[in-house]
Amino acid sequence: MSLVVRYEKLCPLKKFINRINEKINVEDYIGSNGLEKIRTSGSELIKKVASMLNRNYNSRFICATIKQQSCCSFLNYWLDNQKHVYVKSVSDSDKQLWTLIEEYWGYLQSDIYETSPCERENEEKIIDLKKKRMDLMVYCENRDYIKKMCQISKGKNSSSCLALYQFIEHYYNKFYIENKCLEGKVMCEEFTSRISEYCSLYDISKTFPEYDISGEHILVKENSRKAICECENTPVPEDSIREHQILAHEPIPETPLSSSGSWKNALYGGMSFFGFFFFLFLLYKHTSFGTFLRSFIIKKEENAHYIDEQMLQGYSENSSEYTDYKSENNQYNFSYQALQK
């Protein structure tokens, strides 16, 4: 058995929790006052839960040396869990029998001899959230009790101070692993993460303190433990940033068009071209634009004809000049040949 487990078993709240989960003999409790309706309910499950409630409610004396509210809160959680199991296992008609259990709690609470009645808490939370809250509450209550043991036995070579250190270290690691980030403030809700100032996952230094026990008194020293981040402030890992940058520089692949998409594009293009051509035809036949266009075409043809005539006339003149030039060269050649002889 580890030192942490051994000292945890000495804590009153832990003893209470162990007791309420023990099996019982229903016949030892079912005859108690206030259980008349339950005895005639016909449900063995209801009888069993009522008998356990009787035993557990009256076991709160175990918590006499600690805060009574801690044991009362856990007793509420225990009964909520019993209800959760019961409702899931019975028919709709039998679910209404649970009201007998709630009435019996009221009977126990109203006992005139009850000096510290335990009120029924009706928190409308799912059972998983209630469990998380109870885990934190139980840790804080046991931490404070082991710390008192360390203070009392300090200087007597007791192992309680070592147990305190190991206990806090063990549960810090447990809560840190189980809570990747804290969602309480995101949802404007701290139900699972905060019990009090010194019992809050938002403040690691106060909830999981580091102690200096070398002197006469136990002193809180600077905390080196890493805080649990809040979900809305969770930093983006560097690997995710690099991956995002790589993806940003990669070309976006083109998505090929389907055959139906290509056919539709061709159809729309052909209709657009036909419509534009038909529009020009109407302008040509029925508006002044057509007259202007015909005049422009005729004038352009006349200019082209005139240019062709000018080019033809220039070509004829060049040809006659070339003929004269060639004749002259022949004369020059003949004279040159005569001189050779």
Same domain, 4 and 108: yes
Q: Determine the pLDDT at residue 11.
A: 97
Total tally of structural domains belonging to the chain: 2
Give the residue among 164, 154, 195, 134 at the shortest CA–CA distance from 10.
164
pLDDT band at 220 (very low <50, low <70, confident <90, very high): confident
**Predicted confidence (pLDDT) at residue 298 exceeds the cutoff of 80:** no
Same domain, 135 and 117: no
Among 71, 92, 122, the domain-final residue is: 122
Go through 87-106 and write b for each residue having 16 or more CB atoms within 10 A of its CB, e for each that does not: eeebeeebeebbebbeebbe
**Does 253 map to a domain?**
no
Residues 154-194 have pLDDT tens digits of 765 679 999 999 999 999 999 999 988 887 665 556 788 99
Give the residue among 126, 273, 258, 267 at the shortest CA–CA distance from 191.
126
Residue in the block written with tokens 């801690």: 70
Residues contacting residue 71 through CB under 8 Å, at least 6 positions apart: 12, 13, 16, 60, 62, 63, 118
**Does 321 map to a domain?**
no
**Predicted confidence (pLDDT) at residue 324 exceeds the cutoff of 50:** no
What predicted TM-score, i.e. pTM, was given to this entire model? 0.66
**Does 136 map to a domain?**
yes
Q: Are the beta carbons of 220 and 209 closer than 8 angstroms?
A: yes
**Does 135 map to a domain?**
yes
Residue-range definition of the domain harbouring residue 101: 1-122
**Does 309 map to a domain?**
no
**Does 266 map to a domain?**
no
Same domain, 109 and 130: no
Angle at 7 between CA 5 and CA 12, to 5 degrees: 110
Same domain, 110 and 10: yes
C-alpha 224/C-alpha 314 separation (Å) is 105
**Predicted confidence (pLDDT) at residue 57 exceeds the cutoff of 90:** yes
C-alpha 176/C-alpha 165 separation (Å) is 17
- The phi and psi torsions of 221 (rounded to 5 degrees) equal -105, 175
Same domain, 138 and 90: no
Same domain, 118 and 130: no
Q: For residues 44-52, give the mean pLDDT.
A: 95
Same domain, 184 and 94: no
**Does 24 map to a domain?**
yes
Among 96, 122, 148, the domain-final residue is: 122
Same domain, 169 and 59: no
Question: What is the SS3 assignment for 200?
Answer: strand
Q: Are the beta carbons of 59 and 16 closer than 8 angstroms?
A: yes
Residues 107-159 have pLDDT tens digits of 999 987 778 899 999 878 899 999 999 999 999 999 999 999 998 887 656 79
| Interstrand relation of 199-200 and 219-221 (parallel, antiparallel or unpaired) | unpaired
Q: Determine the pLDDT at residue 107.
A: 95
**Predicted confidence (pLDDT) at residue 103 exceeds the cutoff of 80:** yes
Task: Tell me the Ramachandran region of residue 155: left when phi exceeds 0, alpha when psi lies from -120 to 50, beta otherwise.
Answer: left
Strands (E), 213-308: 219-221
C-alpha 29/C-alpha 22 separation (Å) is 14
* Cα 234 to the center of its chain, rounded Å: 11
Angle at 137 between CA 139 and CA 65, to 5 degrees: 80
**Predicted confidence (pLDDT) at residue 307 exceeds the cutoff of 60:** no
pLDDT band at 82 (very low <50, low <70, confident <90, very high): very high
Same domain, 101 and 159: no
Same domain, 1 and 115: yes
**Does 284 map to a domain?**
no
Q: Are the beta carbons of 19 and 71 closer than 8 angstroms?
A: no
Give the residue among 84, 174, 114 at the shortest CA–CA distance from 138.
174
Same domain, 151 and 65: no
Same domain, 224 and 140: yes
Question: What is the SS3 assignment for 272?
Answer: helix
Alpha-carbon distances of 195 from 147, 191, 201, 202, 224, rounded to whole Å = 19, 8, 9, 11, 23
C-alpha 127/C-alpha 123 separation (Å) is 10
Among 175, 197, 232, the domain-final residue is: 232
Residue type, 310: Q
